[in-house]
Amino acid sequence: MNVSYNTQRTIILVSFLTVPLLLLLTFSYYPLLSLFYYSFLEWDGLTEKAFVGFQNYREIFGNAEYFGVLKNNAYYFIGGLLQTGLALYFAVLLNSKLKGRNGFRVILFLPYIMHSVAIVFMFQALYNNQYGTLNAFLDLVGLSGWKQNWLGDPSIVNFSLAFVSMWKYMGLSMVIFLGTLQSIPQDIYEAARIDGASSTQQFLHVTLPSIRKVMELLLLLTLTGALEAFEIPYIMMLGANNTETFIIKTVDVAFKFQQVGLGSALAVVMLLIVLVFVGLQRLLLKGGDE
C-alpha cells in the first residue's frame, strides 16, 4: 500500500461523505428552504405561482381558525404528561424487587411494538357507539352509567384519541425510565438507607436527580409530540368532529384544498414553534450542567 495516509484521508472524506450529504441536502434542506419560499406564494401546486409577501402569515395570525386547533393538540400534551407520570411510577415499581417484574415489563411495553395504524382501528372497534366493546364492557361490570359516545361526542372524542397515544407510548417511556434507573449505582441507595432515609426521601434525593435529564427529554418529546399529533386523529376521524390538529390542518390546506402557499406557511409556523421549544430545552439543559 503506497498511497499516503493524507491522500487516503481525502479519498475517504470525499467518498464517504458525498452521497450522505447529497441525500441530506436534497431531502432535508432543499424541502426546508422550498417550504420558506412557498410560504410567500399564492399557489395551488400546479399553475402559476404569485408572490404575495407576508399575506399567508397575516392570514394565519389574523384568523383564529388556525391557532384555534392548537387546543386540540393540548389534549395530547395533557395525555403525554399523564403518560410520563404513569411511566415513572411503573418504572420505579418494576425497578424494585418485585415478583414477575419481567412479565409486567413485557406486557406494559407490548403496545409500543404493535402496529400504529392497526392500533387505531382496534380502538375504533373498542370505542364504536353501537358495536364497541368498551360500552359493552361497562354494561357487563354494572357501570352502564359511564357509557359514552366515545368518538361521537365532541366533548369526549379528543380524550378518547389522546388515550390511544398514551396507551401506545406509556411502555416506551417506562422502559426508558427503567434503563436510567438501572444505571443508578445501588450503593448510593445503600448509603442513603444507612443514613436513615425513607423510601420517599430516597426517591426525592437519589432517584429524581439521577433521572432529571431523561425526564426533561421525555417532557420535551411530549411537547413536540403533542404539537405534531397527526396520525391517530387523522386515521380514526380524518380530522372530523372537532379533532383537527395543527398538522392535520396543514396537510388539509396544502393537499386537500391545494393552497400550497398557505400550507407551507402553516408548516413554517409549526417548525418555528418546535425549534423554539427545542432551543429552550437545550438552554435549560446547559444551565443545569453548570
Partner 1 sequence: MREQSVFVRTIQYLSLFIGVFVVLFPPYTVFITSLKTKQEYLQNRFALPANWLHWENYEFIFTKTKILTTAFPNTLYIIGLSVAGNIILGTMVAYALGRFDFKLKKVIIGMYLLASVTPLVTTQVATYGLMNSLGLINNIHAPILLYLGADVISIIIYLQFIRNISYSLDESAMLEGASLFRIYWNIIFPLLMPATVTVMILRTIYIYNDFYIPFLYMTKTNLQVVSTSIFQFVGPNAASWNYIAAMIIVIFIPAIILFLFLQKFIYAGVTSGSVKE
Beta strands in 3-135 (DSSP E): 41-42, 50-51
Nearest to 35 by CA among 275, 260, 277: 260
Integer-rounded Cα Rg, in Å, for the chain is: 24
Minimum gap (Å) between residue 162 Cβ and partner 1: 14
Q: Which is nearer to partner 1, 157 or 227 (CB)?
A: 227
Q: Which is nearer to partner 1, 11 or 58 (CB)?
A: 11
Residue with cell 434507573: 181
In one letter, which amino acid is 8?
Answer: Q
Minimum gap (Å) between residue 42 Cβ and partner 1: 15
Pairwise CA distance, residues 181 & 26, whole Å: 40
Pairwise CA distance, residues 170 & 105, whole Å: 11
Minimum gap (Å) between residue 155 Cβ and partner 1: 22
Pairwise CA distance, residues 256 & 230, whole Å: 15
What backbone phi and psi angles, to 5 degrees, belong to 227?
Answer: -65, -35
Nearest to 253 by CA among 80, 42, 61: 42
Q: Which is nearer to partner 1, 79 or 263 (CB)?
A: 263
Q: Which is nearer to partner 1, 78 or 221 (CB)?
A: 221
Pairwise CA distance, residues 192 & 209, whole Å: 14
Minimum gap (Å) between residue 126 Cβ and partner 1: 5
Pairwise CA distance, residues 257 & 265, whole Å: 14
Q: Which is nearer to partner 1, 66 or 123 (CB)?
A: 123
Minimum gap (Å) between residue 242 Cβ and partner 1: 21
Which residues does residue 287 pair with via DSSP β-bridges, in sequence order?
A: none
Minimum gap (Å) between residue 71 Cβ and partner 1: 19
Q: Which is nearer to partner 1, 242 or 258 (CB)?
A: 258
Q: Which is nearer to partner 1, 20 or 287 (CB)?
A: 20
Minimum gap (Å) between residue 53 Cβ and partner 1: 19
Pairwise CA distance, residues 79 & 82, whole Å: 5
Q: How far is CA 104 from CA 81, 87, 101, 184, 236, in A?
A: 22, 13, 5, 21, 29
Q: 29 with 234: CB under 8 angstroms?
A: no
Minimum gap (Å) between residue 113 Cβ and partner 1: 5
Q: Which is nearer to partner 1, 79 or 111 (CB)?
A: 111
